[in-house]
Structure 1
Amino acid sequence: MNLTQSEIDLDLGAVTMSCTTDEVATVFAGLLREMRSAAPFIRPDERDALRQIMSHESGALTAGEVFPDFARGSDAHTTLRKLRTAQFIRPAGRDCWDTGEHIEIRPFARIVWDRLGEAGVFGDPPELEEDDIDLALPGADEPVEVALPAPAKARGTRSGAKWDEGDVLDFLNDEDTQG
């Protein structure tokens, strides 16, 4: 954190707490680490729901407004629980989800979403600007199944495995002997 003072007083309503900026940074880093560790388990449709929730003020939406077919034990219920575990939201009233329950956005999640953006939480690669040129060939990022030549397979190397230099040289030697 780049604050000019090394200790700050935090007004927490009923109590004021003094912390160093390093302590605050440690707490924020820990919360962000929790969010990021849960991010890979959030499916694209769940991320869409989170995006919808984050586009509103905290408490503005109910579970039933985000998920019209909401029922306890449903996929929608699981999604709300996952987003809660990931530190984004919580039920605004009682401590459980139901159709009429308002969705509270956790204050730290609001700060992170507003300051770092969705990509900052989920670790998405940055989008290219109009002037940027992507030099990758189309499909370069797609996984490729590599079929190794028969002699390599006979040695126990399975299809799709990484080649070592010996496999490559064997492949070149096999072509010379076959041709």
Structure 2
Amino acid sequence: MIHINIGWYDRRFKTNFKARGIIAVGNIATGLISIGLISVGIFSFGALSFGLLVLGGLALGLALACGGVAAGGIAIGGVALGIFALGGLAVGMFASGGCAIASHIAVGGYARGHIACGEITSGARIAERYIGGSGKVIDSEMMVLAIKQEFTEMWLRFRELLIKLYGGW
């Protein structure tokens, strides 16, 4: 059930301190909840984490990944790669961050996407407006209009979610 196996590599015992169980804590951990330098499981926490919901330095998750470098369905991190990406460098279908590169919607300091909003933008539709001398801001009405016009074939519930996320509540 619970397996804890942590330690330093010793040539005499030739063990890598692997832990396997429902809750696994070890240098290399595999389990439902895994915590370790290298962790694999549904909920994984560690330097290198793989699983469904992960948190780590290098995080690769199917649903949610949070970490320095994160890749997954929803990725949050310094470098984020995913369907929804949020981070310093965010790359995905929908990206937000310092440098946001997206196939659909990009919002950030540098934004490149089909619909883009940011200080430096590149895309088919730009959803922003200038305000005085302080720069640009996102224009929520333009963003909602662009989402409705550009993504007509998209599933209606998902399009409504995008409008709530990017156009305001």
- The TM-score, its normalising length taken from structure 1, stands at 0.23
- The TM-score, its normalising length taken from structure 2, stands at 0.24
- The structure number with the bigger radius of gyration is 1
Q: Larger strand proportion, structure 1 or 2?
A: 2
Name which structure has the greater RCO, CA cutoff 8 Å, separation 6+.
1
Q: Larger helix proportion, structure 1 or 2?
A: 1
